[in-house]
A and B are shown apart, each in its own frame.
Chain A
Amino acid sequence: MSKQEQHWEKSRGLLFMTLAIWFVFSIGIFLFGAEMNEVTGPFGYPLTYWFTCQGSLGAFVILIFWFANRQEKIDEEFGFSERGDD
C-alpha cells in the first residue's frame, strides 16, 4: 500500500471517529431527551436543556479543534503537511 493510501486510510478513520462523536452530541442524546431532562445537569440546569444551550455546542467547538490537531499529526506522519506557513 502506498504512502498516500495509508494516509487516506488513517484520515478516513479519523473522519469516522469524528462523525461518531458528532452523532452522539447532535442526534444520539436527543433520542432520550425527555428521560435525560429529569436528571440535573451541570450548573444545576435540567440535563437535556443544558445540552441544547451549552453542552452540545461546546462539545462541537472542542471536537473541531481536536479533529484539526489529529489530522495535522496524520499529515505530518506521512510527510504531507504544508511548509512555510503558520
Chain B
Amino acid sequence: MIKGNFIDNLPKVYGIYTGGFLAFIIIMSIAEQMGMTAKTIGICFVAFTVAIYAIIGYLSRTAQADAYYVAGRQVPTVFNGMATAADWMSGASFVAMAGGIYFKGYGYMALLVGWTGGYVLVASLLAPYLRKFGCYTVPDFIGTRYGGNLSRFMAVVVLTVASFTYVTAQINATGTIASVALDIPFQYAVYVGLVSILLCSMLGGMRGVTWTQVAQYIVLIIAYLLPVFWISNKMGAGFFPHFMLADEVSRIAELEAQFGFVKNSAENLKEVPKGLAGITKAHSAVNATPWAFISLALAMMMGTASLPHVMMRYFTTPSVKAARKSVGWSLFFIFLLYSSAPMLATLSKLSLIDPTLPTGIIGKSISEVQAIDWYQNWNQANLMFVSDFNGNGTLELNEFFMGGKAVVLATPEIAGLPYVISGLVAAGGMAAAMSTADGLILAIANAISHDVYYKIIDPKAETAKRLVVARVLLVVIGFAGATIAALEIQGILGSVIWAFDFAMSGLFFPLVLGVWWKRANKEGAVAGMFLGLVSGAAYLVWVRTGGSGFLGITQLTFGIFGSAVSLVAMVVVSLMTSAPNAATQKMVDEVRIPSGKSILGKQH
C-alpha cells in the first residue's frame, strides 16, 4: 500500500477514508437514536479517530533518513497543503478562535489577518528557496548558508524556545479534550494525549506525520464546518452562512445599542469564576486603534514566516514549483476554517442574546435560565455563569458570562443539535491539537538530532544510529512538554502568541536575508539571532513585571521589538565584518534559481 503506487492512489485512499468517516458519523447518530449515551459517543469518536491515526503512523514506518526527515520529498502539492493546514491550525484555532472573536471582536480579528497574511511572506520570501536548498531542517539552512557550528546551534536554540512554548499549549489542549471525552483526570489525560501524538510520529517521522496530518485535516474541517452550516440552517439564518449573515451581524449591533455595555463593579466581578468573560465589546464595530490592530497582525505574519514546523512542511514537496503552489493550497485549506470562525461567533452570540429567538436568554428571568438543561451542563463544566447583579430578577447582558471554549463546544447543544455533533467536535479538536503537537515535537527533535547530534557532535554516525537518536529525542521532548503542560502554567492562547513572537525575534531576518541579501554573513546572522531572541525575551519579561513598554508594543507583540533589534544587529555586524566567501555567494546564486541540483545532497 505504501510507496510508489501509494502516492498515485492518494486521492482514492483519502476519498475512501473520508467516506468511511462520514459513515461513522451516521452510524453514531443512529446509535444515539437507539439510546447510546453521550459519554459512550464521545469515547467512540476520540478512540476511533486516534486509532486510525496510529494505524497510519505504523504503516508509514521507515528506516531511511530522507523519508524520516522530509517524507522522501514526494508529497503532492494539494496533500501537502492539507497537511500544512492541519499542522498550522492548532487546538487554539479550533477551540478558542471563535470564542476570541465572540468576546473581543475586531481587535482579536487581527489574528485572523495575521495568521493568513503570513503565508504570502512564506510563499514569496522563503519556502521555494529553502526547498531548493534541500535542507532537512531550518537550522540546516542557517548552518549551511552562513557556515559554522555556532550559527547552526543558535538557530536550534531559537527554534527550540519558540516551538517548545507552542507545544506545551498543544499537549495541554489534547489533555483537556481527552479528559472530557474519556472522562479521566487531566493529569493522566495529558499523557494519553502524548502517547497518541507519539504513535503518529515515532515510527515514520515526517512521513508518518504527513499522512496522519492529512487524515487529521479531513476530520477537523468536517468537525468545524458541519455544525456551522447546521446551526445556521436551523436558526433560519441562511443555508450558506458566509454569504448570508449580514442581517444577523446588524441585528447584534442593534441589540448591543439597545442593551448597552454596562460596566460591572470589581466587587461583582469577584463572583464570576476564573476564565469566564462577559460581552463587553462591539461585535462588528472597529474597537481597536489602527496600530493595535496592525502591530498584532504584523507580528503574527512575521512569526508565521519564521516558525520552523510550518517551513519544514515545504521541504517535503517534489519540486520548488510544487513548494510555491503548495503554500497557496495550505492557505486555501486554512481559509476554509478561518472564514467560518467569525460566522460561528455571530451565530453563537445572536442565539444567546436575541430575546426574540427561542434560545435567547437575555431578558429572561434568572431562575428560568438557571433551569435550562444546557445551562446547567455548561455551568457545571465551569464554562457558563449568570448572576443577578442589579437584583431585578431578569438576566441582563452584563450578567451573563461564558468561557471562550464554550462558543465552539456549547453552541451545537444550545442550538439543539444532536449529541453526535458534540462528539464530532471533540474529535476535531483532538485532531487539531494532535497534528500541531506532532509537527512541533518533530521540528524540535529533528533539529536536535540532525543539527546538534549529527552535524556537530558525531558527523560519522550511521543512518540507523541517527534515527534511533531522533526517536529517543522525540519521546524525551514529548514527555518534557507533557510534564510542563500538566502543571497548567498559562492559558492556551497566550503561549501560542508568544511562540510567534519568539520565532520572529530570532529567525525572521536571518532566514530572509540569507536568501535576499548576499552580503549577510555568519557574524551578522549569529548577532541577529542572539540579540533578537534576547532582546525580545527581555522586553517580554519587562512588560510582564510591570514595565510600561513603548510604542504600544505589548506582551503579545514583543516580536516587533525583537525582530527590529535582530535586523539592525544583523546589518551592522555583517557590514563591519568581511563579506561571505565566493563559494557562499555562489551558493546563494544557486538557491535563487529553481533548476539544477539542490545545495545539500539527497542524503546528508
Residues of A within 8 A of B (CB): 4, 7-8, 11, 15, 18-19, 22, 25-27, 30-34, 37, 43-46, 48-49, 51-54, 56-58, 60-61, 63-65, 67-68, 71-72, 75, 79-83, 85-86
Contact = CB atoms under 8 A, between A and B. Distances in A.
A81 B594 contact: yes
Given A45-B246, A53-B112, A11 B324 contact: no
Contacts of B114: 26
Contact of B589 (A4, A57, A72): A4
Contact of A67 (B106, B124, B321, B592): B124
A44 B248 CA distance: 10
B320 A82 contact: yes
Contacts of B246: 43-45
A86 B514 CA distance: 28
23 contacts: A26-B120, A26-B297, A26-B301, A27-B298, A30-B113, A43-B244, A45-B246, A45-B249, A49-B284, A52-B342, A53-B343, A57-B113, A60-B331, A60-B335, A64-B331, A65-B328, A68-B123, A72-B321, A80-B594, A81-B594, A82-B594, A82-B595, A86-B77
Nearest to B297: A26
Contacts, number: 153
B543 interface: no
A30 B290 contact: yes
Contact of A58 (B290, B301, B327, B339): B339
A53 B594 CA distance: 35
Contacts of A58: 335, 339
Contacts of A75: 321, 593-595
A43 B243 contact: yes
Nearest to B111: A52
Interface of B: 76-77, 106, 109-110, 112-114, 116-117, 119-121, 123-125, 128, 242-247, 249-250, 284-286, 288, 290, 293-294, 297-298, 301, 318-322, 324-325, 327-328, 331-332, 335, 338-339, 342-343, 589, 592-595
A22 B594 CA distance: 23
Interface centre among B77, B120, B298, B343 (most CB of A within 10 A): B120
A69 B120 CA distance: 14
Contact of A85 (B298, B322, B331): B322
A69 B342 CA distance: 31
B297 A30 contact: yes
Given A22-B117, A30-B290, A31-B290, A82 B285 contact: no
B407 to A, nearest CB: 15
A72 B593 CA distance: 11
A8 to B, nearest CB: 6
A28 B147 CA distance: 38
B319 A64 contact: no
Contacts of A22: 117, 120-121, 124
Interface centre among A30, A43, A46, A79 (most CB of B within 10 A): A30
A22 to B, nearest CB: 4
B301 A19 contact: no
Contacts of B338: 57
A5 to B, nearest CB: 9
Given A30-B293, A63-B120, A57 B594 contact: no
B170 to A, nearest CB: 23
A30 B52 CA distance: 44
B418 to A, nearest CB: 28
A82 to B, nearest CB: 5
Contact of A83 (B110, B298, B595): B595
Given A25-B117, A61-B116, 6 more contacts: A26-B297, A33-B293, A34-B286, A56-B117, A64-B119, A86-B77
Nearest to B300: A26
A80 B595 CA distance: 5
A79 B271 CA distance: 70
B284 A45 contact: yes
A19 B124 contact: yes
A4 B593 CA distance: 8
Contacts of B247: 44
Given A53-B339, A54-B242, A64-B331, A86 B318 contact: yes
A71 to B, nearest CB: 6
B328 A57 contact: no
Given A48-B106, A53-B109, A64-B331, A71 B339 contact: no
B589 A31 contact: no
A43 B342 CA distance: 15
B18 to A, nearest CB: 22
A61 B335 contact: yes
A30 to B, nearest CB: 5
Contact of B592 (A11, A19, A65): A11
A33 B282 CA distance: 14
Contacts of B123: 64, 67-68
B422 to A, nearest CB: 25
Contacts of A72: 321, 324
B294 A64 contact: no
A48 B286 contact: yes
A27 B335 contact: no
A17 B589 CA distance: 22
B327 A81 contact: no
Contact of B294 (A31, A67, A79, A80): A31
Contacts of A48: 106, 286
A30 B110 CA distance: 9
A72 B77 CA distance: 15
